[in-house]
Amino acid sequence: MPNGLLIDEAGILNYQKYGGFEIRRREFREVVETWIEGASPEWLASRMEEDVMGGPDHQEAIRLFQAGVNYYNQGKIKESLAEWGRARDLEPDNWVIRKQIWAVQNPEKFYDGEVDSNWQRQQIEQGT
């Protein structure tokens, strides 16, 4: 789950993007380069809002994810996975949602020793 956090020398968080931050993608490389060159706080805030808010389905994906968490907390695993699956379908690049599904379906890949990163890469390649 690649995250991007840009923190200045005073310890101030200037930019954050959780999940899907990939420096090899032009748009994120430009964010970092512009920040290094001294981007205005307004530009960073605008860009971060775009990246944090995601696409048009982001709010619905977050609502579905939260509904899944509520089901999970009630012990309703089947229902939680169904909600998370719908959220994943709306926002396929949201790695928080994907990893939540994977961790519930395959706890041995997450909670028995070290996280199995190779297995996760295989899941990504398979589109699950």
107 and 68 in a single domain? The answer is: yes
49 and 89 in a single domain? The answer is: no
d(CA 40, CA 9): 15
Task: Report residue 52 as tokens.
Answer: 């944090």
d(CA 40, CA 109): 42
Say if residue 54's pLDDT is above 70: no
122 and 62 in a single domain? The answer is: yes
Domain count, the chain: 2
For position 21, what pLDDT does the model report? Answer: 82
63 and 104 in a single domain? The answer is: yes
d(CA 97, CA 83): 10
Q: Which residue has the higher pLDDT, 1 or 44?
A: 44
**pLDDT band at residue 55 using 50, 70 and 90 as cut-offs:** low
Q: Where are the alpha helices (DSSP H) in 37-116?
A: 41-53, 58-73, 77-90, 95-105, 108-111
For residue 88, give its domain range. 58-126
What digits encode the pLDDT tens for the residues 84-127? 999 999 888 777 888 899 999 998 888 888 878 888 888 888 87
For position 81, what pLDDT does the model report? Answer: 97
Asked whether 53 and 76 are in contact (CB, 8 A), the reply is no
pTM of the model: 0.60
121 and 70 in a single domain? The answer is: yes
